[in-house]
Amino acid sequence: MPAHRYDTFWPRLLAGIVDALILLPLFYLDSMIYEWFPVRAVIVPWFVCTSFAYLAYSIYLHGRYGMTLGKRLFRIAVVDLSERPLSMGQAVRRDSVPLVLTALGVVLELPYLLGWWSEAPGFLEYSYYLLEYAGWSWFVAELITMLLNDKRRALHDFIARSVVVRPRQGVILH
């Protein structure tokens, strides 16, 4: 199999930017939602939904089509190591670490949103920093892993037993 089939670093980076831009309007609505509906019954579900929005987008599209809209634009796809379509379970495993980190962040933020605390207690401040550090550490580890192997597999690809490829000539993307 030609090595250029796995040469996906730049298309993946650009696809990630496109995917973030696709969901950007959702996050612009945040300030309006919090201003227009300062009711916990609206703010809490909105917060939970927007916290998981990118992950839901990523998991669904990878599991259903093997690619996000950004990956489709840059003509790359995520497949199983055996080159079969990615399963929904693999799509979930690809995003399992960000899912856990996001869930922890939501759990830490909910007492504040529910009005149980007017300020976050000291241990929460440290927890926020720890989660932020964990997120950035995961991102750096993903980059390093991707750059140090021939198939450009990031840690999430090892977890899911997946690989990002440029489809063969004549293969039609979903």
pTM given for the model: 0.89
Q: Specify whether the CB–CB gap between 76 and 15 falls below 8 A.
A: yes
- State the alpha helices, DSSP H only, in 37-121: 40-65, 69-73, 88-94, 96-113
Query: How far apart are the C-alpha atoms of 127 and 123, rounded to whole Å?
Result: 6
Q: Which of 14-28, 103-117, 121-135, 159-173 has the highest mean pLDDT?
A: 14-28
Judge whether residue 2 has pLDDT over 60: no
Confidence of residue 1 (pLDDT cuts 50, 70, 90): very low
Average pLDDT over the chain reads 90
